[in-house]
């Protein structure tokens, strides 16, 4: 099943999409990630009773998560739209391999940012169910990256992606990295 999904995504990557189509896909994807997933965290958080952290600590945690996560998330999405000539939505993917911009620090800056963003919302809601829902969502997205996205990128970009994968951290940024990324014409 995973191989069929990877094949489907590789096929989608070979198609040309109009600017309007890419815009609609990006808006729908952004709506899901920026509003839909936090709404789900809120909904399941409401099902559990009691707060997890003192409100002041939860407020500080949410602020720190938003301050760290949103720049990673936004910069990665904008880089995909501008340099990648595609969208973050897997069915309307980037055309170009992206080892530059925020992707020079880690292979998944968008998900890094999103994980902090969704944790920030869990802290805002500060209910056990919110934290559990955020953790489950992150685990599912992590599994999707490892089981589907990495295979799809390896198939689409071949050796240059495999070299990039070896040289660039998966998730935790190599902020002090000075070495030039693998070249791919991006």
The CATH architecture assigned to 2-167 reads Up-down Bundle (1.20)
pLDDT digits (tens, 9 = 90+) for 149-183: 999 999 999 999 999 999 999 988 876 555 555 55
Task: Please give the pLDDT value at position 183.
Answer: 55
SS3 164: helix
Has residue 186 got a pLDDT over 50? no
The neighbour count for residue 167, using CB atoms within 10 Å, is: 15
Confidence of residue 134 (pLDDT cuts 50, 70, 90): very high
Q: What is this structure's pTM?
A: 0.87
The neighbour count for residue 86, using CB atoms within 10 Å, is: 21
Dist CA 115 CA 138 (whole Å): 6
pLDDT digits (tens, 9 = 90+) for 67-108: 999 999 999 999 998 898 888 888 888 889 999 999 999 999
The mean per-residue pLDDT over the stretch 136-143 comes to: 96
Task: Please give the pLDDT value at position 5.
Answer: 85
Site of tokens 């990495």: 150
Dist CA 142 CA 147 (whole Å): 9
Task: Please give the pLDDT value at position 130.
Answer: 96
Dist CA 41 CA 118 (whole Å): 8
Dist CA 73 CA 110 (whole Å): 4
* Mean pLDDT, the chain, integer: 89
Q: Domain ranges for the chain, please list them.
A: 2-167
pLDDT digits (tens, 9 = 90+) for 15-70: 888 888 888 888 888 898 899 999 999 999 988 778 888 999 999 999 999 999 99
Q: Where would I find the H helices in 14-108? A: 19-31, 37-46, 55-82
């Amino acid at each position: 099943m995973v191989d069929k999904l990877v094949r489907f995504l590789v096929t989608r990557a070979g198609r040309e999409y109009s600017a309007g189509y890419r815009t609609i896909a990006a808006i729908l994807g952004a709506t899901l990630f920026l509003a839909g997933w936090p709404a789900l965290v809120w909904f399941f958080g409401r099902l559990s009773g009691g707060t997890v952290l003192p409100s002041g600590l939860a407020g500080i945690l949410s602020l720190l998560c938003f301050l760290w996560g949103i720049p990673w998330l936004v910069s990665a999405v904008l880089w995909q739209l501008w340099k990648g000539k595609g969208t973050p939505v897997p069915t309307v993917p980037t055309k170009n391999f992206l080892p530059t911009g925020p992707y020079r620090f880690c292979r998944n800056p968008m998900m890094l940012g999103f994980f902090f963003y969704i944790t920030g919302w869990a802290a805002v809601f500060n209910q056990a169910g919110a934290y559990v829902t955020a953790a489950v969502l992150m685990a599912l997205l992590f599994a999707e990256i490892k089981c589907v996205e990495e295979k799809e990128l390896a198939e689409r970009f071949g050796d240059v992606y495999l070299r990039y994968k070896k040289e660039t951290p998966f998730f935790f940024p190599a902020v002090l990295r000075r070495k030039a990324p693998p070249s791919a014409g991006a």
